[in-house]
Structure 1
Amino acid sequence: MRRLWKASLVPVLAALAVAAPLPAASAAPEHGRPSGSIVLTEQASKRILVLPADQDAWTAREFSWSWAPGDDNGLGDLADAWTNPDEAKLSERDGRRYLLTTASGGFAAVVPYPQGTGAYWAADVDGANNPHSIELLPDGNVAVAASTGGWLRVYTASQGSRSTHYAEYPLEGGHGAVWDERRGVLWALGTHDLVALRVGGTPAEPELTAERVVPLPSTGGHDLQPVPGRPHQLWVTTESEVLLFDKARGTFSRNYPGAGAISREHVKSVTTHPRTGQVLTVAPQEDHLCTWCGDTVRLDRPHDELTLRGAWIYKARWWHD
């Protein structure tokens, strides 16, 4: 993702209305319509947005939740690093839920959801590094992947909410980080490789060791996500395609249900709905003012689209609230 953008051309979005959380998704999309909620990294308004998977809600801008760092949530001192939010994931630890988020200006944080205040951990990891993904580890530390910096770091968040001590593994084009509870490894995605990292040492002094390095079948690794209900699989996107990775076999597949529609160039994010199996992807649109963004997310199995007019969507994910 390029960090240069035309600020004078940013469309002005409508005021963000914060409402109560939505009910859980139904077991299957009703009459082919999507169900549940979706989170967006929306770069025009520089906010994380959660909204129902319903076009009427998108048209009316009926946001369930919105967030950005500021004085009101105790992160005003890091607001300058909040340039081009590029990751949003929901995680749980010790019975609490957290928004995991990064921005290419250097911002990285783990924020209680839905409270939005009292960050578990937050830091400016330097915009020159261009952080692109984040993961909360079982020991309380936080993994961050950075593309321009070319690394995967584990920050010692367990030692304090502003700890900047870290262990680093060099990873060209670092873009993805996913913890694998079953195997006890941290998967990290870069330009050319998918790496399984063993996190050793102690929470205060972590150590990273590559246990497995798997070359990608195409270059430009971008998004890395687990597949709900299939602990042996990971979604992997590259500059040219969307792949399924089999952890046990160490192989990538282009032949999976819906691949003809799901797999395409420059997909920035991919997730599967944990109850319906519907797959959500987002990719840049031609002639959009932001050349790495779009205003539409795509759903497949079954197919649908949702559009937020004027938005600069970089990533979109199912939000398992």
Structure 2
Amino acid sequence: MIRHKGRLPRLAALLIGAGLTASLVTAPSGDDGADASAPAPEAAAYTVTPAVSPFVQSGPRNIITRVQDTYVSNVDSADHSTEHLLRLGTPDGGTTKYRSFLKFDVSKLNGADIKSASLRMYNSDTGSCDGYWMYANPVAAAWDPSAITWANQPALVTGYETSAKFGLGSAACPDRPVDSDPDTSNAIKRIDLTATVKAWTRMQDRLPNNGLRLSAGELGSVAYKELCSMNPAASDPACHLSYYTPTLEVEFNPGAPVISAGDEYAVNYGGYPATSSALEFYDSSNPSLWPATGPYQRWVPDAYHSFKDPYGDLLPTTFAGGTEHRLRAADAYETTGLSGKQVMAIGDGQSGLVAVVPYPALSGARFAINVGTEQETNLHGVEVMPDGNVAVALSKVNQVRVYTKAQGAIGNAPSAYATAAYTKTLEDAHSLLFDKDTNSLWAIGKNQLVRYPYTLGTGELGEPEPFTLPLNADGYSSPYGHDIEPVYGNPDRMWVSANAGIVQFSKSGAASCYKTSRWPTSTAMEHGEPNRWCTDYIDEDHEKLINQGGMAKSVGNDPVSGRVITTCVKDPACHATVAGAAAWTTPAITFVDCCVNGEPTRHHEFWRETNAQYYRARWMVPSYN
């Protein structure tokens, strides 16, 4: 895929560390080049942007893994460890009794700051629609799923019991699986396990993890329940999806936003499938631990993640990990369930897939189209609007396109999105960002940053307002724009990355914000806009730790800590590219942290230095600005 080349208060200090100084310090005086025909708008005030903490689900690719499950009965000693159901309670008034046992490996979360934990289940049958109680308890001794019986079942650990009340699956209260968006299925139920998982993962006085016992009332049939097990069965009308298997969900390290990165290297995961490029999710609290933990979660558009391709057009070629990935509020896609409030927009340049996926469920989809493979369009940018429409940036055909929510409805034939609703021309279009304050879509290409007025609902793009990117540091070559991202904390600013380097852009142009820089150079700015191209952020002043070199593929700041992450290639400031890897990828995500001993620092972090192939890295923050 060708991708061209005196101490301040804490909040103020964090904002400065993120490059947010325009409203915290006095701007330089002098001619600001503003349009004299109208007063310049004032720069937007600083805001506090909420961030999303890591949320991991047990699975074959994740740092929490499913180990085993089974059930036991007082009327037999058979091995039930391969069955597709778990049973609790009694179906016949106490004659036959069932209890189930499960185990998850949480060892890679040892010492993590656990915010919450729950067991997700699918209730496929019940003894009563009134919803009687079930219970979860940690067990005190190890057990073998193929040898455990009613007679030899382990004792319980006291003090950690938790319960939930529900009942679904009978004729009077049927379960309704929704395979295209599994978390919205009415039979998805959760039971709180926060205290137990904290006890399993704390550094001192750790509770041995021997798994859980699930039980329900064993005197009356009303409490009887059947749950999907860890062994999906294709023949079962409900228990055939991986999302419906018993799953441990843990939100951890609150205040440490998620970092996502598409990894084109086909990792041998050891689970299903054996190898695949993937979109990977990292805990930002301590990147130095990545070599030990790896990504805490991965996503691939496959059967495991309930991703359907009924016409065979969504993935005409192999998924390459994702060229673009953004977290957004669900807005027009809002539903019930855990993932009703947020969605992830993802676009993959190699295959041409564009999808809107529930987050953090990462299962199913709410929008899916294909805009053409790498050879046809070379997809680079994706943005989902509050109205559910989706915009894409296609570098090979020099286009910004908008597809309506209806065009991407799940199950549509390819003819539904054969033609975009609106198309604009932009040379080497690379990245997109919606601006909710002005209902605009920003796009960056080879030589221009462009604002398109946007009509909510129809998706119409108005006449472009272009801003010419400053020339490269050599004074004559094109800058080749790559990425635009919000400067979280300052809604007036956007990060801009290019082959030339990294700069901030002021949407208002309200005050001069340019200082002498590696890029844009003073010479390049002689005919530029010193009120637009901003180099007055703190990490530019401190040895240019962010704007240290060229070939910057992505850039963004964490609204919580102020840290900045970038990816870059083929420049002395960048980590060396892996031998044999695609030329536009890097094995490292570069951090600029604020602050160690009062000064920012720059360092590379990776979990597979010899193999990873990242293009963009993103802070998974749902806010547009």
TM-score interval, smaller chain? 0.7 to 0.9
SS in 1 for 2:392: strand
Q: Residues of 1 paired with 2:406 and 2:250: CA distance?
A: 29
Asked if the contact 2:292–2:607 (Cα under 8 Å) also holds between the matched residues in 1, the reply is no
- Equivalent residue in structure 2 for 1:237, among 471, 487, 497: 497
Map 1:110-129 to 2 at 5 A: 110-127=356-373, 128-129=376-377
Q: Partner amino acid for 1:75?
A: K
* Contact 1:236/1:242 (<8 A) preserved: yes
Given that 1:57 and 1:63 are in contact with CA atoms closer than 8 Å, whether structure 2 keeps it comes out as no
Alignment CA distance shift 1:166-1:43 (3 Å): same
Amino acid at match of 2:446: T
1:306 corresponds to: 605
- Note if 1:153 corresponds to 2:393: no
> Equivalent pairs: percent with the same residue?
27
**Structure 2 Cα separation of the partners of residues 155 and 112 of structure 1:** 19
**Shift in Å at residue 211 of structure 1?**
4.3
* Matching residue's letter, 2:546: I
**Residue 349 of structure 2 is aligned to residue 104 of structure 1:** yes
2:545 aligns to what SS in structure 1?
Answer: helix
Q: After superposition, what is the alpha-carbon deviation per residue over 1:75-110, rounded to whole angstroms, capped at 9, x for unaligned?
A: 343233423521111111235211111111211111
Say which SS state the counterpart of residue 80 (structure 1) adopts: coil
**One-letter amino acid matched to 1:238:** A
**Structure-2 change in CA distance of 1:233 and 1:56 (3 Å):** closer
Q: How does 1:1-321 map to 2 (within 5 A)?
A: 1-2=1-2, 16-19=61-64, 20-23=249-252, 25-26=254-255, 35-45=256-266, 46-53=277-284, 54-72=286-304, 73-76=306-309, 77=312, 78-81=314-317, 82-83=319-320, 85-94=322-331, 96-105=341-350, 106-127=352-373, 128-159=376-407, 160-161=409-410, 162=412, 163-164=416-417, 165-200=420-455, 203=457, 205-218=458-471, 219-249=479-509, 251-259=532-540, 260-263=544-547, 264-284=549-569, 285-288=575-578, 289-290=580-581, 291-302=583-594, 303=601, 304-309=603-608, 310-320=611-621
Equivalent AA in structure 2 for residue 305 of structure 1 = H
Q: Distance in 2 between matches of 1:62 and 1:286?
A: 20
TM superposition score normalised by structure 1 = 0.86
Residues 18 and 167 of structure 1: is their aligned pair in 2 closer, same or farther, counting only changes over 3 Å? farther
Residue 191 of structure 1: how far off its partner (Å): 0.9
Whether the 8 Å contact between 1:21 and 1:64 is mirrored in structure 2 is no
Between 243-252 and 53-62, the greater mean CA deviation after superposition: 53-62
* Paired letter, 2:564: V
**1:215-262 deviation per Cα after TM superposition (whole angstroms, max 9, x unaligned):** 111321100101111110000011111010000016112342112011
Report the residue type matching 2:62 in the other structure: A
In structure 2, relative to structure 1, the CA distance for the partners of 1:169 and 1:119 (3 Å cut) is same
Q: Which has the larger radius of gyration?
A: 2
SS of the aligned residue for 1:44 comes to strand
Residues 62 and 238 of structure 1: CA distance in aligned 2, closer, same or farther (over 3 Å)? closer
Q: Alpha carbons of 1:287 and 1:18: their partners in 2 closer, same or farther (altered >3 Å)?
A: closer
Which residue in 2 is equivalent to 1:11? Answer: none
Distance 1:57 1:80, change over 3 A: farther
Corresponding residue for residue 9 of structure 1: none
Contact 2:393 2:432 in 1 (8 A): yes
* Compared CA separation, residues 211 and 170, structure 1 to 2 (3 A): closer
- Cα distance in 1 for residues equivalent to 2:370 and 2:434: 22
Q: Is the 8 A contact 1:18 1:66 kept in 2?
A: no
Distance 1:56 1:251, change over 3 A: closer
- Counterpart Cα distance in 1 of 2:500 and 2:289: 32
Conserved 8 A contact 2:63-2:293: no
Q: Is the 8 A contact 1:16 1:61 kept in 2?
A: no
For 1:179 and 1:21, locate their aligned partners in 2 and report how far apart those are by CA, in whole Å: 31
CA distance, structure 1, for counterparts of residue 587 and residue 558 of structure 2? 20
Q: Distance in 1 between matches of 2:446 and 2:550?
A: 15
Q: How far apart are the structure 1 equivalents of 2:290 and 2:63?
A: 14
User: Distance in 1 between the 2:487 and 2:437 partners?
Assistant: 13
**What is the RMSD computed on CA atoms of the aligned residues?**
2.2
Q: Which amino acid aligns with 1:252?
A: W
Q: Do 2:567 and 2:617's aligned partners in 1 also have CA atoms closer than 8 Å? A: yes
Query: Which one-letter code corresponds to 2:324 in the other structure?
Result: E
Higher strand share: 1
Unaligned runs of 5+ in 2: 4-59, 65-248, 267-276, 335-340, 472-478, 510-530, 570-574, 595-600
Aligned to 2:218: none
**Count of aligned positions:** 300
1:139–1:158 contact (8 Å) kept in structure 2 = no
Post-superposition, which runs of at least 4 consecutive aligned residues in structure 1 deviate over 3 A?
Answer: 18-22
Matched residues in 2 for 1:183 and 1:85: separation?
Answer: 29
Write the distance in 1 (CA, Å) between the matches of 2:459 and 2:391.
11
Q: Residue 315 of structure 1: CA displacement? A: 1.2
Aligned to 1:31: none
CA distance in 2: counterparts of 1:56 and 1:229, whole angstroms: 26
CA–CA separation in structure 2 for the residues paired with 1:237 and 1:56? 25
CA distance in 2, matches of 1:123, 1:253: 37
Contiguous gaps of at least 5 residues in structure 1 = 4-14, 27-34
SS state at 2:538 partner: coil
- Give the whole-Å Cα distance in 2 for the aligned partners of 1:67 and 1:21: 17
Asked if the contact 1:22/1:52 (under 8 Å) is kept, the reply is no
- CA deviations over 1:2-55 (Å, ceiling 9, x no partner): 28xxxxxxxxxxx732544543543xxxxxxxx433111111131111021224
In structure 2, how many angstroms separate the alpha carbons of the residues matched to 1:287 and 1:92?
34
